[in-house]
Amino acid sequence: IGLAKIINSWSFRGRKRLGVWKEGDSCSNWFGNGKVDILHDDNMKLNEFSEGKFALETSMNGNTVHINNPFPNDRMLYVMHMAMGPMLSQYPTTLVTIDNGKEVAPSRELDTSTLILTQNLHVTQVKQIGMVSPGLNSVHFFPLQDLELPFRFTGFAVSFDIGGDIQKLDPNRFDHN
């Protein structure tokens, strides 16, 4: 059964409440429209890698983006990126480091493979990176492998800590026929 057929078989009745965003969040996602609204290295290019699908692509030397935390206190940074699974990913495992101008947080290694799929597909994933301070934070991406495809960064969220990665769509959130 194809993914589109599964989704089309679901019945969405009303809007389910997925969570309370406490004091708010700040998000940006250019995956579907190609409109990047953050500062980034000149050599980090926006690429329409498939019709209507966009990502900032990293070079093997690494790249930096600058993400603003508009809140008066530290918030969690979540990075959206392309992944592949369940077989080996064509996207490189990538090291991500946050620098708030005063200190550099411990790095997070992003695995770009996913085991939630039953057939080999390219999907976006959301991964928890670390805390960002109020104001502008530099986020560094360093690919750890030279693979067929570059690391593809598709968006971010600055929000409260939900306690881990957002890894999959939970079908229990919806009503099925």
Cα radius of gyration rounded to whole Å, the chain: 17
How far from chain centre, in Å, is Cα 172? Answer: 22
List b or e across 99-123, with b for residues whose CB sees 16 or more CB atoms inside 10 angstroms.
Answer: bbeeeebeebebebbbeebeeeebe
Please report, for residues 16, 32, 50, 59, 127, the alpha-carbon distance to residue 23 in angstroms, rounded to integers and kept in the order given.
20, 27, 36, 35, 20
Q: What is the C-alpha separation between 75 and 73, in angstroms, rounded?
A: 6
pLDDT tens sequence for the chain (177 residues): 455 555 555 554 444 445 545 678 899 999 999 999 999 999 999 999 999 999 999 999 999 999 999 999 999 999 999 988 777 788 899 999 999 888 888 888 988 887 665 666 788 889 999 999 999 999 999 999 999 899 999 999 999 876 655 544 333 322 222
Please tell me the pTM assigned to this model: 0.78
CA dihedral of 168, 171, 172, 177, whole degrees rounded to 10: 180
Predicted pLDDT of residue 63: 96
Measured distance CA(149)–CA(90) in Å, rounded: 6
